Amino acid sequence: MEKEEARRKAKAVVVGGSIAGISCAHALIAAGWDVVVLEKTLSPPNGCATGAGLGLDMVSMKLIKKWTQPQLLQLLSLPMNIEHEQATDGDEKITRTLSRDEHFNFRAMHWADLHSLLYSSLQQDIVLWGHSFLSFCISDDKTSAKVQAKVLQTNETVEIVGDLLVAADGCLSSIRETFLPDLKLRYSGYNAWRGVLDYSNNENSETVIALKKAYPDLGNCNYFDIGSEGHAILYELINQRVNWIWYHNQPEPKFKGNSVTAKVSGDMIEDMYEAAEKVWMPELVKVMRETKEPFLNAIYDAEPLDQLYWDNVVLIGDAAHPISPHGGRSTNMSILDAAVLGKCLEKWGPENLSSALDEYQSIRLVVASEQVLFSRRMGRIKQRLPLPDRDLFDHAAASREESQVLHLRNIPYFNHIPPILAPDCNSSLQSCIL
């Protein structure tokens, strides 16, 4: 009874209400913890066009199904059963298949749809919107953490005390900076132009008809175009939307404020279109041109961390492992971090918090380290940037065998299920196939 009482009263304060923070809330509530999430955004996205597309692997899908309504998760996502890499000749405007994985088994989803699904499955008083994190301190006996936040609508400063502080505040984490002030993000050497084309009101347009002819597996495929000026990604989302990304080698941009994403001027967008016309297929360029408000995302990662927690403060998601996007891992890592943390807390109970955090770290640290380094390497291969141990990837001449290096399933721990989560994922990979 005493142990159950301790479990019931344990409280976690989560800083950050994006996918990582909301997933953490689900996992910790399932572990018997009280949770409060602090998010500086004034209100939930409510299905708006915030963000862009993402790919969920089989393990993430299985975990999310336990936290939400499984039928909604299916309805809000589309299959990406195929990973297709092709070389694009920008002069001749032709493509050639490099590699193809027809057992990819991801699902494509819009960021806002996933966030809305996760958030709507929580009790509405768990996330405190419009609460901007200011600072924290750990009690002298290391048993609690006190967080200060500013309520943006009133300018009031509030204090919240919890047994555990979870930093889910992204790749620019101010909580992580407290412990690792010398850790700096590493610019990859390229930016991502990206956007989502909504063609729901014009599904028979020449652009859409031509696009589906040039990319016949849209709706079931993640397309990668490898060209002389980086690489591009194209896949479909529900409600007749197409997500596209172009990774373009450029000097590091200067963004205002504490952000790696920016809206850009009309002149910059027009320059991007003109550059795209020289290197990509006209069907893809038309999609770019018809997309409302494309935006620019600078690509960063960081050297893998040596630890993920200090006393009763723990990092999850991009705060724990800033990563470039080329392994399709950022969102999936956040979901898996949250699930593993929840199971470790449930296993050890709040009276053994240090043991729980130590096991969480032992499970996730090596995986995160290897996946960060793999994603960095994959990005440099696809962007035709130098690596010390191999020649530049020659998309124009590479054989099918040489192109196997491009497959996402090469990433360490692809579809790996940590043993602590085996009961939730039925221990076998096959059971996670939808």
Give the pLDDT confidence of 195-227 residue by residue, as tens digits.
999 999 998 999 999 999 999 999 999 999 999
Asked if the model's pLDDT at residue 1 lies above 80, the reply is no
Asked if the model's pLDDT at residue 28 lies above 60, the reply is yes
CA angle 414, 415, 418 (to 5 degrees): 105
Residues forming a β-bridge with 311: none
Asked if the model's pLDDT at residue 5 lies above 60, the reply is no
Q: What is the pLDDT of residue 429?
A: 41
Q: What is the pLDDT of residue 52?
A: 85
- CA–CA separation, 179 vs 306, rounded Å? 12
Two tokens at 233? 């990604």
Q: What is the pLDDT of residue 9?
A: 74
**Secondary structure of the chain in HEC code, one letter for each residue:** CHHHHHHHHCEEEEECCCHHHHHHHHHHHHCCCEEEEEECCCCCCCCCCCCCEEEECHHHHHHHHHHCCHHHHHHCCEEECEEEEEEEECCCCEEEEEEEECCCCEEEEEHHHHHHHHHHCCCCCCEEECEEEEEEEECCCCCCEEEEEEECCCCEEEEEEECEEEECCCCCCHHHHHHCCCCCCEEEEEEEEEEEEECCCCCCCHHHHHHHHHCCCCCCEEEEEEECCEEEEEEEECCCEEEEEEEEECCCCCCCCCCCEECCCHHHHHHHHHHHHHHCCHHHHHHHHHCCCCEEEEEEECCCCCCCEECCEEECHHHCCCCCHHHCCHHHHHHHHHHHHHHHHHHHCHHHHHHHHHHHHHHHHHHHHHHHHHHHHHHHHHCCCCECCECCCCCCCCCCCHHHHHCHHHCCCCCCCCHHHCCCCCCCHHHHCC
Q: What letters, b where the CB count within 10 A reaches 16 and e where it falls short, cover 65-101? A: bebbeeebbeebbbbbbbbbbbbbeeeeeebeebbbb
Mean pLDDT of 300-307: 97
| Pairwise pLDDT comparison (404 vs 51), residue with the higher score | 404
Question: Range with the lowest mean pLDDT among 125-129, 145-149, 259-263, 321-325?
Answer: 259-263
Asked if the model's pLDDT at residue 276 lies above 60, the reply is yes
Asked if the model's pLDDT at residue 271 lies above 80, the reply is yes
| Cβ-contact 337, 330 below 8 angstroms | no
Share of the chain above pLDDT 70, in %: 93
| Pairwise pLDDT comparison (265 vs 334), residue with the higher score | 334
Q: What is the pLDDT of residue 48?
A: 52
Q: What is the pLDDT of residue 260?
A: 76
Q: What is the pLDDT of residue 423?
A: 87
Question: CB under 8 Å to 141, separation ≥6 — which residues?
Answer: none
Q: What is the pLDDT of residue 264?
A: 84
Mean pLDDT of 136-165: 97
Asked if the model's pLDDT at residue 191 lies above 50, the reply is yes
Q: Which amino acid would we find at residue 424?
A: D
Asked if the model's pLDDT at residue 190 lies above 80, the reply is yes
Q: What is the pLDDT of residue 213?
A: 97
Confidence of residue 7 (pLDDT cuts 50, 70, 90): very low
Mean pLDDT of 305-318: 98
- CA–CA separation, 376 vs 327, rounded Å? 9
Asked if the model's pLDDT at residue 316 lies above 90, the reply is yes
Asked if the model's pLDDT at residue 410 lies above 60, the reply is yes
Domains of the chain, earliest start first:
2-55+121-184+303-382 (3.50.50.60)
Q: What is the pLDDT of residue 256?
A: 67
Asked if the model's pLDDT at residue 432 lies above 50, the reply is no
Q: What is the pLDDT of residue 427?
A: 40
Asked if the model's pLDDT at residue 6 lies above 70, the reply is no
Asked if the model's pLDDT at residue 186 lies above 90, the reply is yes
- CA–CA separation, 157 vs 150, rounded Å? 5
Question: CB under 8 Å to 428, separation ≥6 — which residues?
Answer: none
Asked if the model's pLDDT at residue 297 lies above 80, the reply is yes
Two tokens at 219? 């709706």
Confidence of residue 164 (pLDDT cuts 50, 70, 90): very high
